[in-house]
Amino acid sequence: MRVLVAVLVACVLVVPSGGIAPGERREAAAAGNMRAAGCGGAALRVADGARPGVERNELTPLQAAGVERELDGLTRRLPPGQRRTGKLSVPVYVHVLHDGRGGPSDAAVKRQIAALNAAYGGRRGGADTGVAFRLVKTTRTRNAAWYRDAERYERTFKRQLRKGGAGTLNLYTAGMADDLLGWSSFPWQYRSEPVLDGVVIHEGTLPGGRVRNYDLGFSAVHEIGHWLGLYHTFQDGCAGQGDRVADTPPQRDPTHGCPGAKDTCRGGGADPFHNYMDYSHDRCMSEFTSGQAARLRKVWAAYRA
């Protein structure tokens, strides 16, 4: 059974051949100044018999506290009108990397955008976050090296392909190793590394893809949650301030699979393993909360508006 071991880079996800666990799943943050800035995204790798490890770019409580101080300071200085962010319509450029076989079809890309809108619109359960995604264009780039080793060539292909500013989502698909599901940048990284802003996902995680248990498009939903400023539901474990969202109960560690019940922290309620910001199998994920919706709007106003 493949269980993940994690690594830190811009929000990297990881998968095992034949199936994954997104703690096994999700993330990688870019290296360099991003690490120094307390960046996140989670890079996970999976190996047979391995037990969950520490994601290299998972924020420590100290790093998260620093991010929150900056966020609160920026929010206080915003004009009142800008703090009250209404409905958000996010333009999306999807960049399909391939090695000559074309990559995901246009229909698959449209299904992914539909999955994003269903998840963020509360149509699978939970809160309507007020965020909608609008596909502007799909580009296709034939480059076998980029396709097969997106981590190594990330800066190169993003420098050439990225479109728009802080409020534009650039979503890249690639082949990747089968133990990697994807990664994302965080909004507060944009100022120091704008070229690295965006989300990279394994092409097999699009709806109907080949990555078993992660084939409903929710790897992109999860990673874009980071791009919008959400932490994992298990941030800080049972202690500290958690994910800074009051309506997600404290959670000691990521969820793998789709359990019938899970409660890892005494008091506060059962683990929110149906939340898109946990590591559950796609079929287990169905919700964002009202608190997460409020947080991502606050972060958008501070960093992406």
| Six-digit token string for 178 | 């089968």
pLDDT in tens, 148-174: 999 999 999 999 999 999 999 999 999
Residue 224 · residue 172 · CB < 8 Å: no
Would you call 287 a catalytic residue per the annotation?
no
Contacts of the segment 124-129: beta carbons below 8 A, 24+ positions apart: 124/286, 124/287, 125/274, 125/286, 125/287, 126/274, 126/275, 126/286, 126/287, 126/288, 126/289, 127/287, 127/288, 127/289, 127/290, 127/292, 127/293, 128/293, 129/288, 129/292, 129/293, 129/296
CA-CA distance, 27 to 6, in Å (whole number)?
Answer: 9
Indicate the domain borders of the chain: 75-304
Rg (CA), the chain: 17
Given the residues 24, 58, 223, 287, the one annotated as active site: 223
**pTM for this predicted structure:** 0.85
What average pLDDT values come out for the chain (305 residues) when binned by 10 residues? 30 41 40 34 35 49 93 90 79 98 96 98 96 98 96 96 98 86 94 96 96 96 96 92 95 94 93 96 97 96 94
DSSP letter at 211 equals S
Domain 75-304 sits in CATH 3.40.1010.10: no
> Would you state the pLDDT for residue 239?
85
pLDDT in tens, 12-63: 444 433 343 343 444 433 333 333 333 344 443 333 222 223 343 478 889 9
> Would you state the pLDDT for residue 298?
94
DSSP per-residue codes, 44-105: EEEEETPPP---TTSPPHHHHHHHHHHHHHHHHHS-HHHHS---EEEEEEEEEEESSS--S-
> Would you state the pLDDT for residue 20?
39
> Would you state the pLDDT for residue 144?
97
DSSP-derived 3-state class of residue 224: helix
